[in-house]
Amino acid sequence: MRVTNASRIKWHHNKAHIRAGGGLKLKSLLKGRSDTPENYMFSLSHSAGDYGSPRHRHNFDQIRFVLDGEMRISPNQVVREGQIGYFPEGTTYGPYDDGGKERTIMIVQFGGASGYGYMDMDQATAAKQSLQKEGKFADGFFHRSSGKGPRKLDAYRAVWERCFGRRMELPKPRYEKPVIVDPKNFGWQSTGRRGVSRKSLGIFTERQTRLEMIRIEAGHKWTSPSERAVSLFFVLDGAGTANGKKIGRYSAAETEAGERLTFEASKNLTVFCLVMPMVHTAALKQAA
């Protein structure tokens, strides 16, 4: 079990930045364990308005919760403030850019249902630095000027293939396009505990990636269930404690499989919860 608070973490530029625009900053809240199917990155991300990406897909899952502004993810899809975008592995989206508009999001990137795992920032940074000796990154692509390989390749794919030393295979898409969830249109449901209610926002794939929100009224508490996978928690508003540690707006927490976490509210707490896919039984593709 780990708990952290964004207010105590400094913004930093993304060392592994491979897409368009240089104004992207991150606050790294929590991260998983490298080279495991359950690896993940849990961050806040702020764009100065110049971030963009070509149309692409990847071999991991993403959750993006827009906290301020909006995020255009394709010419016809926009994730607005307060909404959540679920970007499944293998699903194509884009092109997009921030169009000069600043935005702040909570983002989780994590290994998806197929068991490919997730390439973390340290791995990506080392691979990018190696590739820069053979070409340059521009407009979301790697442009090769020396060495063996395609002359132009999607930037993420180029970095992944350098990191793992083989061609990246993409899982077949389970969803035709990213899923946009609007929590305000969901009703709060009773949990059977006084002062605690829940919004169930969706369960995805055969490995049961689950999104929900928990509301805990001041003076009450809630203990998370013992899950069979890693769970992540993000405080949207309110104040209190998590297993006795102080939490407030934009605090984050993690439980591993089998662990529980008790939230106690001193002010009404609203917590976003992500139960990651149960991939511990899946063969890790990158080890094949």
Query: Lowest-pLDDT range, 73-77, 119-123, 262-266?
Result: 119-123
Q: Which residues, at least 6 apart from 42, have a Cβ–Cβ distance to it below 8 Å?
A: 28, 29, 30, 31, 107, 108, 232, 252, 254
Among 93, 32, 95, 31, smallest CA distance to 58 is for 93
pTM of the complete model: 0.90
Positive or negative, the CA dihedral 209, 34, 67, 213 is: positive
pLDDT score recorded for residue 280: 58
How many other CB atoms sit within 10 Å of the CB of residue 22? 11
Among 117, 92, 99, smallest CA distance to 32 is for 117
pLDDT category, 130, cuts 50, 70, 90? very high
pLDDT category, 120, cuts 50, 70, 90? confident
pLDDT score recorded for residue 133: 96
Query: Lowest-pLDDT range, 38-47, 73-82, 155-164, 279-288?
Result: 279-288
Backbone angles phi, psi at 32, to 5 degrees: -90, -160
pLDDT score recorded for residue 282: 46
Over residues 152-160, the mean pLDDT reads 92
Q: pLDDT tens across 25-55, in order?
A: 999 999 998 877 788 999 999 998 988 888 9
